[in-house]
Amino acid sequence: MSAVLPPSALARGLGLARQPGAAVLRLQEAGVSFGTLQALRDISLSIQPGEAVALVGANGSGKSTLLRVLHGLLRPSTGQLEQGSQARQAMLFQRPFMLRTSAQNNVALALWLRGVPWRAAKVQALSALQRVGLADKAAQVARTLSGGQQQRMALARAWALQPDVLLLDEPTASLDPHAKREVEELIAEFAAGQGRAHPVTLVFASHNLGQVKRLATRVIYLELGCIQADLPVEEFFDPQRLQAVSPSAQLFVKGELA
């Protein structure tokens, strides 16, 4: 018999940690250490409502760690995270956490953890799955879905919560081109706030620079846990502007970073 996790543990595993924060996120001189490893160093940034912020950099640069700090899954070892008091956040991991139950129940559980009665959660979950084109997979065990379907289900689970802030960690990294396009289109629709009164604040890590150009309004380049460039997307992809700000970021964009 499977162990029953408490709601708080389930929420962390599903990427649904409760946040007391507003749509504006601010880090002040934040650092994260794992023993002797310094994963983030003196990170100061402010994310405004409605922004679409891409985190880029080589493997190990600190992108995933920064996302987890912004979502409240990791506490900064130094500095602090400032948030408002009402905004909802949801996070989509590169490999979404799937419970051994149906796709509909996976989505409904996220709503139940937020206080929605189970019957209503099931109805809302089905609507969310329909939104991402998975209504016909509602009764299928989530772990048997394809990689692209799992990401779409995870997006449905996050979107069902009507988040003000959506964080994504390499959401299309392991998908085939067709599935990447499907997931990216959904992310773009969600970021635009379709069906919402206002756009969603989007923060995502990606190695796909084409995706960054299509989705982001702002790009943050990380190297060895430090921010080396923080620019509007059009300036980040301007070779002269980027070279003046961070030669290493320009090498990264050109694919020449050692």
Alpha helix ranges (H) inside the chain:
7-13, 63-71, 103-113, 118-131, 147-159, 177-191, 209-215, 233-236, 239-245, 247-254
Give Cβ neighbours of residue 256 (< 8 Å, ≥ 6 apart).
Answer: none
Domains of the chain with bracketed CATH: 7-254 (3.40.50.300)
pLDDT digits 0-9 by tens, 17-75: 444 444 469 999 999 999 999 999 999 999 988 899 999 999 999 999 999 999 999 99
Helix (H, G, I), strand (E, B) or coil at 204: strand
Q: How far is Cα 66 from Cα 32, in angstroms, rounded to an integer?
A: 9
Q: How far is Cα 11 from Cα 20, in angstroms, rounded to an integer?
A: 15
Which long-range contacts link 193-197 to residues 24+ away (Cβ below 8 Å)? 196/162
pLDDT digits 0-9 by tens, 101-152: 999 999 999 999 989 999 999 999 999 999 899 999 999 999 999 988 998 9
pTM, two decimals, is: 0.85
Retrieve residue 4's tokens. Answer: 């029953």
Please report which confidence band the pLDDT of residue 86 belongs to, taking 50, 70 and 90 as the band edges: low
Q: What CA dihedral angle connects 143, 169, 155 and 157, to 10 degrees?
A: 70
Do the beta carbons of residue 129 and residue 137 sit within 8 Å?
Answer: yes
Angstrom CA distances, 47 to 11, 52, 62, 71, 85, stand at 24, 9, 17, 13, 15
Angstrom CA distances, 105 to 44, 54, 121, 133, 183, stand at 39, 31, 9, 16, 21
Do the beta carbons of residue 253 and residue 242 sit within 8 Å?
Answer: yes
Retrieve residue 49's tokens. Answer: 């409502």
Percent of the chain with pLDDT over 90: 62
pLDDT given for residue 12 in this prediction: 47
Least confident of 13-22, 85-94, 201-210: 13-22
Sign of the Cα pseudo-torsion (147, 198, 201, 237, in order): positive
Of 24 and 254, the structure prediction assigns the larger pLDDT to 254
Retrieve residue 203's tokens. Answer: 């923060």
Length in residues, the chain: 258
